[in-house]
Amino acid sequence: MKGKVAKISSVLIVSTLLAITGCTNSSQTKPTTSDVPTAKADSKADLTPMIVRLATGGPFDPNWDDMQSDVGKAIKEKTGITLKKEFSVEGGDPQKYFALMIASNDYPDLVIGGAGKLVDAGALVDLAPLIDKYGPNIKKVYGDYMKRLRWSNSDHAIYTLPFPGVNHTHFDAGSGFKLQHQVLKELGYPQIKTVKDYEAAIKAYKEKHPTTADGKPTIGMSLNAGEWQILISTTNPAFLTTGAPDDGEFYIDPKTYEAKLHYLRPEEKEYFRWLNHMNDIGLLDPESFVQKYDQYKAKIATGRVLGIIDQKWDYQEAENSLKKEGKFDQTYAHFPVTLNDTYKDHSYQDTGYLAGPGVSITKSAKDPVRLIKFLDYLASDEGQVLINWGIEGVHYKVENGKRVIPADVLEKKTNDANNFKKSTGIGNYVQLSANYGDGVKDPSGNYYTANFPEQVQAQYSKADKETLAAYKVSTYLDLFPKKEEFPVKPWGAVWTMSTETGSEANVIFQKTQDIMKKRVPEAILAKPDQFDAIWDAFMKDLDKAGVQKLNQTYTQMVKDRIKLWNE
């Protein structure tokens, strides 16, 4: 999933994106705004203190500031709202988290993710009437994309405010295969275009440096595959290295819109064969499929891992730790690696506005009007500058009409990012409402976000700059194929779609996921002469599970999405 989504993501956040968009089958009646209290509907500036429960499907975020940061306090002052954020249990499955929420009938005021399950359970409020009456800034942000917020062809209600930034422009790359700067520098900045190039670099450096400076064994490549991130670190690269864009678990024929589970593509088998080869020659971390997320991040933070295949939002916390310790040569450069030179990496193919997961108001909210006004404030010009830039005179200043981040603040933001985010709150509130993407300017002529070409380059470390100069580019994005090289995807991305829980297609989908989580690690960790037999068994398992029916369902969903967005 993409970089911004992933700031997502992150994190998750946006990475739990596939996991948390499942639906639940329910005969419950969906609430309307007339079904919930609106006691303060006429108050336009109600600053009465109000505590709001906000739940996510993600694990505990150590950078959450509990509204004690500069930005958090400013939001409370402007709105009277105090957010109490709730997380799933450590290592918890987001799907189970939302399923338990529904089973207990205990809903927070606001929720991020899980919309499919919650809509079917009748737990979410239709935001369309609220936005129409109380959300001028929300309407302004989404503009012509408001119709992409509609739930389905048969239900035009708006249940979520998607957090992907509107009219977002990528100025840097967070995807791709990663190699430490020290590896590239010692090897004279070799060509890194194919998996063989990537393998050769790791092998050459590891042979010279079997241990780190403190005597710990060097790890060639580690995959974050012990939990749900197997999708991000292990299986998504299979289609990206073989010339397909990110549609989650599916490949969509760009001409016919026919969908199929992407593991069925023969070319992807060869990518997994390469991972099998990496394991066989000792370059793959043997703990890849059993390590927990925290263990993966802790391992990266030691500087032992030469290469990773991941999205930046997924490992950024660990890299921030390296930066704080001044170990910039052990942080990572990003490359668009493919199986061979006949393929192009489609990471940055244009999806149009991607109305994916976002924030929702539940039927348990005591004052949905107050909440929509709160969300509308965050979407306002003032709110957008606050959550992206911070406080004027503290986190930025205005010089000759331009917002500028002082050098000392930028140094902390860049090299002590975890503490900076928690102490300032900058970046902690972006996913709570409609927001503008990178590259969009406000009425003053400044960018709404602090991510634009000059700022991106200013935040590069010396190691980044040396690597980029060696490859004769200004940003990592320059290494990737440009979006203009591909057509715009009229369906957006399939990872934002989901089937109804309890439906035949959903049951089949869950079966295919279980099969994948068994067979993919088994194939990668097997002896090379066993790989084909295991892969054949994988394909037979999928067929027995009913994958062709699943493909037909998603084909129709893609066609319905195109109709919904363009009618």
pLDDT for the residue numbered 30? 44
Report d(CA 445, CA 458) in Å as an integer.
Answer: 20
Where residue 36 falls among pLDDT bands split at 50, 70, 90? Answer: very low
Mean pLDDT lowest for which of 161-170, 321-330, 540-549?
161-170
Residue 5, pLDDT above cutoff 50: no
Beta carbons within 10 angstroms of residue 278's beta carbon? 23
pLDDT for the residue numbered 153? 87
pTM of the model: 0.79
pLDDT for the residue numbered 42? 42
Domain ranges of the chain: 17-23+37-168+353-432, 177-350+458-485, 496-566
From residue 155, alpha-carbon distances to 100, 110, 352, 363, 534 in Å are: 25, 21, 22, 18, 43
Report d(CA 290, CA 377) in Å as an integer.
Answer: 44
Q: Which residue has the higher pLDDT, 6 or 165?
A: 165
User: What is the mean pLDDT of the segment spanning 408-414?
Assistant: 93
Looking at the chain, the whole-number percentage of residues with pLDDT higher than 90 is 80
Q: Which helix (H) or strand (E) holds 537?
A: helix 531-545
pLDDT for the residue numbered 29? 41
φ, ψ at 308 (rounded to 5°): -140, 155
pLDDT for the residue numbered 94? 77
What digits encode the pLDDT tens for the residues 224-243?
999 999 999 999 999 999 99
Report d(CA 246, CA 348) in Å as an integer.
Answer: 9
* Contact indicator for 389, 450 with CB cutoff of 8 Å: yes
Considering the domain 177-350+458-485, what is its CATH architecture? 3-Layer(aba) Sandwich (3.40)
Domain 17-23+37-168+353-432: give its CATH code: 3.40.190.10
User: What is the mean pLDDT of the segment spanning 300-329?
Assistant: 96
pLDDT for the residue numbered 88? 81
Residue 31, pLDDT above cutoff 70: no
From residue 547, alpha-carbon distances to 286, 512, 542 in Å are: 30, 7, 6
pLDDT for the residue numbered 434? 96
Amino acid code (one letter) for 473 = V
What digits encode the pLDDT tens for the residues 487-519?
999 999 999 888 887 899 999 999 999 999 999
pLDDT for the residue numbered 56? 87
Residue 27, pLDDT above cutoff 50: no
User: What is the mean pLDDT of the segment spanning 296-315?
Assistant: 97
pLDDT for the residue numbered 261? 98
Half-sphere exposure of 351 (CA within 13 A, CB side): 28
pLDDT for the residue numbered 544? 98
CA dihedral 56, 61, 65, 67 (to 10 degrees): 0
What digits encode the pLDDT tens for the residues 556-566?
999 999 998 88
Bridge partner residues of 447 (DSSP): 441
pLDDT for the residue numbered 468? 98
pLDDT for the residue numbered 469? 98
What digits encode the pLDDT tens for the residues 54-105?
998 877 788 999 999 999 999 999 999 999 999 886 556 777 889 899 999 9
17-23+37-168+353-432 and 177-350+458-485 have identical folds: yes
User: What is the mean pLDDT of the segment spanning 352-374?
Assistant: 93
pLDDT for the residue numbered 92? 62
Task: Specify the residue for token string 């919930």.
Answer: 36
